[in-house]
Structure 1
Amino acid sequence: MSLPLDILMFAALIAAILIGYPVSFVLAGTATAFAALGWATGQLDPNLLGALGQRAFGLLTNDVLIAIPLFVFMGVVLEKSRIAEDLLETMGRLFGPMRGGLGVSVVLVGALLAASTGIVGATVVAMGLIALPTMVRNGYDPKLASGIVCTSGTLGQIIPPSTLLIILSDVMSNAYQQAQYREGKFTIETLSVGQVFAAALLPGLTLVAVYIVYLLARAAFSPGAAPPLAAAGERPGPRAVLRAVVPPVVLIVAVLGSILGGVATPSEAAAVGAVGALLLAAARQPGGSRLILAGAVALGLLAVLAGLVPVRLQRSDAGLAEWLVGAVLTGLVLIGGLAVAAAVRRAARAGILTPVVTSTMTVTAMIFATILTASIFSLVFRGLGGDLRVESVIEAMPGGPQGALVFVMALIFVLGFFLDFVEISVIVLPVVAPLLILMGHDPMWLSVLIAVNLQTSFLTPPFGFSLFYLRGAAPKEITTGQIYRGVMPFIALQIVGMALLWLFPAVATTLPAMLF
């Protein structure tokens, strides 16, 4: 008995990825081949492919996804500006004298970089180049040190802002709407990026706490695995700590605060983050920083005043006060514009601008190409009846809604060994998420639970991206086997984090309920 085409299609996708072909080409090629095969065998209606143009246009005009290149730009600028190095050095000297302290400092720096960059590769490479050699020289178990760096780098996917949460919010919002349509509702609710960001914040910090507790326990029961820093040097004072911590924290507050406070949309907040990161990078370059500082202050005042005192000079009843306020706001715009221009010029002279723009274009193109081709794949997969097959399997799971959710989470976990989070989000979730929501699972809680699961895909061999990033940045004495074995305990901690979120849903639902 021959296998159905939908099953063969998914198996062909996994096989082609394992061979090593680029994911975007694999998705598009597999979809094209099986669309032709389905058409030839009468299992696929060719008229269905007419929706491809609509899907491509919908991707290009999606307001939510516009934030992705801006957040990527922000992260790459911060990577090139050596903020990560200062954070690691300062935190290492602060926590180094305690057992496991250097590992704790790496986790905390990973959390700060996650909330200010959201790029896994940049964080893992930076800490692999700086923190990993220091831990190994100080006597840390190479496997533990590798696991710490890999896992801390993945926090950029669960702590907002992150590209994973942006893509996930769009996919889960569509799934939520489909579930409501199938229930026969006429008033449709949606999920916003701000709600998903708020829901993921506390679970992300919970994972940070779980990592730290594990490191301290490991250092207590096995002192040789994580000894104190032998040559920690003088502990940094409050001023040095503030100088290292305040810049990324200010950026975090500006970006996340504007989204969670309802002041700006994710795209607007991403633009704020991109400009703020550029100003921070320019301020660290040699030369006067007064104009940069004045521009940052001017732009901050502009954001506050524009919200508190909106000016409508085109109105016929605009008086002297409105014109004065308008003049002040115009002056702030000029100062901010001059500062941004100076920042761009200084970044270009320092050789930062070209690699930043190149990296931003590369990462953005990779993400959007994967989303587009995965959309093509999912359309053909649905045309072959794959979505109905998956739904029938989920509905047949024992244990009702809880059993179905366990099956889906296990499926996503296993697929994470082979597929990237983008492919899983765009191919698998549109099929399974509406059914899970129909079964009664809260869409906000479900989004965060899936996000933690997808974060784990960066750690699971053989295709965990964090493992690849660290392999490229780690010293030669760190073997690939040590990296793979080092992440195993942290994969177990990810499962612990998912279990805590499952048992205590309020961790994900409380903050969105308060803010929205």
Structure 2
Amino acid sequence: ISVGNLFLGAILPGLLLSCLYFAYILVVSSLKPHWAPSLSDDVGPDSTVGLLLMLLKGFLPPVFLITLVLGSIFAGWATPTEAAGVGGFGSLVLALVNGKLKWDVVRDVCERTALTTGMIFFIFMGATAFSYVFRSLGGEDIIIELIEHLGLEAWGLLFVLMGTIFVLGFFFDWIEITLIVLPVFTPIVELMDFGSHVEGRDIVYWFAILVAVNLQTSFLTPPFGFALFYLKGVSPNSVKIQNIYRGIIPFVALQVMGLVACMIWPEITLWLPKLVLD
């Protein structure tokens, strides 16, 4: 399947989630202003020009980099692997413009990249070995027989798969879920029939985006939500992890709402790829 179509299919669901977050924050901060107090006058730029310069320096470079990487894929100029090189080149250009392209920085980036790549490839190896043994022992056939024994229709099966991924997000990282669970679920998904709701050739794309939206909850759900620990690391000592756990509940609910919306209206995920292809 086309990776470019998957990227295109993820744009509208991502914007949908962003709009849900924005609407929730806007409503809550309007009803309870003390939950979102204004910054003091000594924080941030003190003029419109300063604000524009901060925006120019802090917001546009990442947007430029994202556009460079995804744009090269959408335009067909580069494969995802080649686009990684495009992103690396763009990062070097930004570092050069900011005057931070120094040997110590480059060496540190290379070391971190090697460590991260090594970790991910070890996960690939473990997941591949697991999937191979699982299939060799007939695990895939057992799961398919179990699903058939349950007698679930396509929609019931979809809810079971989405619920399983949601629960796994509490305990596993998205990489493990993707590499271990998806090879097991894919043969099942290919047998689904949603009638006129989703055409057969689009089911895999639709399901992949549903999984991607579902996996967003894994970043926020305790005890292993990585975003929770990132937030705790930059928060003052007065902010307890229990406060953060309680604070993420509405956002997890919003993510589930976004997931349900993509399930009910598949065009949210399929409209943009079809538009570009046509």
1:353 alignment partner AA? V
User: Which residue of 2 is the match for residue 256 of structure 1?
Assistant: 70
2:164 alignment partner, one of 407, 411, 417: 411
User: Which residue of 1 is the match for residue 174 of structure 2?
Assistant: 421
2:96 alignment partner, one of 282, 295, 298: 282
Residues 1:279 and 1:203: Cα distance change in structure 2 (over 3 Å): same
Written as runs of structure 1 = structure 2, the 5 A alignment for 1:62-461 is: 191-231=1-41, 233-237=45-49, 239-240=52-53, 241-285=55-99, 346-348=101-103, 351-397=104-150, 399-440=152-193, 442-461=203-222
User: Which residue of 1 is the match for residue 238 of structure 2?
Assistant: 477
Higher Rg: 1
The sequence identity of aligned pairs, in percent, is: 43
Distance 1:386 1:377 in 2: 11
Residues 1:387 and 1:258: Cα distance change in structure 2 (over 3 Å): same
Q: TM-score, normalised by structure 1?
A: 0.49
Unmatched segments (≥5 aa) in structure 2: 195-202
Deviation string 1:28-80 (CA, Å, 9 cap, x unpaired) is xxxxxxxxxxxxxxxxxxxxxxxxxxxxxxxxxxxxxxxxxxxxxxxxxxxxx
1:508 alignment partner, one of 246, 269, 274: 269
Distance 1:353 1:225 in 2: 41
Distance 1:220 1:471 in 2: 25
Distance 1:494 1:215 in 2: 14
CA contact (8 A) 1:255 1:269 kept: yes
Distance 1:462 1:236 in 2: 42
CA contact (8 A) 1:461 1:484 kept: yes
Note the aligned Cα RMSD (angstroms): 1.9
User: Which residue of 1 is the match for residue 247 of structure 2?
Assistant: 486
CA contact (8 A) 1:459 1:491 kept: yes
1:225 alignment partner AA? W
CA contact (8 A) 1:255 1:272 kept: yes
Cα offset for 1:220? 1.5
Cα offset for 1:200? 0.6
CA contact (8 A) 1:394 1:407 kept: no
2:248 aligned counterpart, secondary structure? helix
